[in-house]
């Protein structure tokens, strides 16, 4: 006979009561709160029409502009050229918005291409979500945009970080990518030791937080509005500085992209078997101090055996080949697309 209060009897009571307690707790527990909406930092569209940034890079910088709203904010895009033309997507890089294509896009449109270009999240007239700026964010943005425009397939051309985005998108969404891809001064597999000292500092979490602070922004705005400042000589450099000073999400977008984005870590994308069915044109300048010229060959070597690829070397060319050599870039894009 089991004595009252014995360990066996206590265990029996516990086993009987425990399921009831757990069931009661389950029903009394509050359901998880819905996820908070993504916080969006404003774009250049929030600045006054007369601001210097909007004078250098107005909202109608290209013809055929429009906005599309997606889960991570509003995206500014432009469509140029005949609707019946070959579809080509131009993807800009880390810091300069779509204006980096200012000479290339109109010329491609005049040659009969249907050109799509857009501002990446956190740049130009596209919102800056408070999130990680990794390849998933950029790929989703592009996939949403193509779906929004009812584009089933396109040729992709990316410059600098845009090359990494093009590679990641091709590897992940091969059915949306034509058999010709062009990358210019392409990042994607940059080694950490080849990042500039400034870029390395920008990736530090404390520096990233400080660069996104209101104090730092006000300081940059003070410098931007200084009456002693000389007139801007280079609009490309100036738009970078103005975005940094006036867009609260820009610095965080740059820092996160350097730390988590498709500037590094895309070797798997370039080595994907999807490239066996495609031709990749790699255009790179020998004087590129941002993404050294050696990465052109490294990207080509990463491609799977059987991939048709070509390296076009621009002697003396730097990172901004679409600005310094637009005619050369357009001619090579046209040649590559029309090649058998």
With respect to residue 231, please indicate whether it lies within any of the assigned structural domains: no
With respect to residue 250, please indicate whether it lies within any of the assigned structural domains: no
With respect to residue 149, please indicate whether it lies within any of the assigned structural domains: yes
Q: 């019946």: which residue's tokens? A: 84
Select from 117, 79, 164, 159 the least CA-distant residue to 323.
159
Full residue range of the structural domain in which residue 87 is found:
40-195+262-338
pLDDT tens track for 208-260: 665 566 655 554 554 455 444 444 569 999 999 999 999 999 999 999 999 99
Number of domains in the chain: 1
Show the tokens assigned to 92.
Answer: 């800009």
**In this structure, are residues 184 and 157 in contact, taking their beta carbons and an 8 Å threshold?**
yes
Query: What is the rounded average pLDDT of the residues 54-64?
Result: 96
**In this structure, are residues 121 and 72 in contact, taking their beta carbons and an 8 Å threshold?**
yes
With respect to residue 29, please indicate whether it lies within any of the assigned structural domains: no
Q: What is the dihedral of CA 288, 290, 295, 296, to 10 degrees?
A: -40
| pTM flag (> 0.75) | yes
pLDDT tens track for 262-316: 999 999 999 999 999 999 999 999 999 999 999 999 999 999 999 999 999 999 9
Identify the band that residue 195 occupies on the pLDDT scale cut at 50, 70 and 90. Answer: confident
With respect to residue 307, please indicate whether it lies within any of the assigned structural domains: yes
Compute the C-alpha angle 125/169/171, nearest 5°.
170
Select from 127, 111, 104, 115 the least CA-distant residue to 151.
115
Show the tokens assigned to 131.
Answer: 């999130």
With respect to residue 67, please indicate whether it lies within any of the assigned structural domains: yes
Can you give the CATH number for the domain in which 136 is found? 3.40.50.1820
């Amino acid at each position: 006979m089991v004595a009252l209060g014995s360990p066996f009897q206590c265990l029996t009571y516990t086993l009987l009561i425990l399921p009831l307690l757990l069931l009661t707790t389950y029903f009394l527990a509050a359901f998880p709160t819905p996820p908070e909406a993504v916080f969006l930092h404003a774009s250049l569209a929030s600045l006054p029409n007369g601001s210097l940034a909007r004078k250098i890079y107005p909202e109608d910088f290209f013809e055929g502009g429009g906005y599309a709203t997606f889960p991570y904010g509003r995206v500014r895009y432009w469509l140029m050229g005949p609707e019946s033309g070959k579809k080509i997507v131009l993807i800009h890089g880390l810091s300069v918005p779509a204006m980096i294509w200012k000479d290339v896009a109109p010329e491609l449109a005049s040659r009969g291409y249907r050109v799509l270009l857009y501002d990446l999240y956190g740049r130009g007239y596209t919102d800056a979500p408070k999130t990680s700026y990794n390849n998933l964010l950029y790929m989703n943005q592009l996939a949403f945009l193509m779906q929004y425009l009812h584009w089933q397939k396109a040729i992709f051309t990316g410059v600098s970080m845009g090359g990494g985005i093009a590679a990641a998108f091709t590897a992940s969404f091969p059915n949306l990518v034509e058999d010709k891809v062009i990358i210019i001064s392409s990042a994607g597999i940059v080694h950490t030791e080849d990042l500039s000292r400034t870029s390395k500092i920008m990736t530090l979490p404390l520096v990233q937080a400080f660069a996104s602070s209101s104090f730092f922004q006000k300081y940059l705005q003070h410098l931007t509005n200084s009456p002693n400042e000389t007139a801007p000589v280079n609009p490309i450099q100036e738009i970078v500085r103005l975005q940094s000073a006036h867009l609260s999400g820009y610095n965080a977008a740059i820092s996160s992209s350097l730390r988590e984005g498709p500037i590094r870590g895309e070797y798997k994308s370039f080595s994907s078997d999807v490239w066996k069915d495609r031709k990749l044109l790699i255009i790179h300048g020998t004087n590129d101090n941002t993404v050294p010229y050696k990465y052109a060959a490294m990207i080509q070597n990463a491609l799977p055996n059987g991939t048709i690829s070509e390296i076009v070397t621009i002697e003396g060319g730097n990172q901004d080949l679409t600005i310094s050599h637009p005619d050369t870039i357009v001619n090579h894009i046209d040649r590559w697309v029309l090649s058998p």
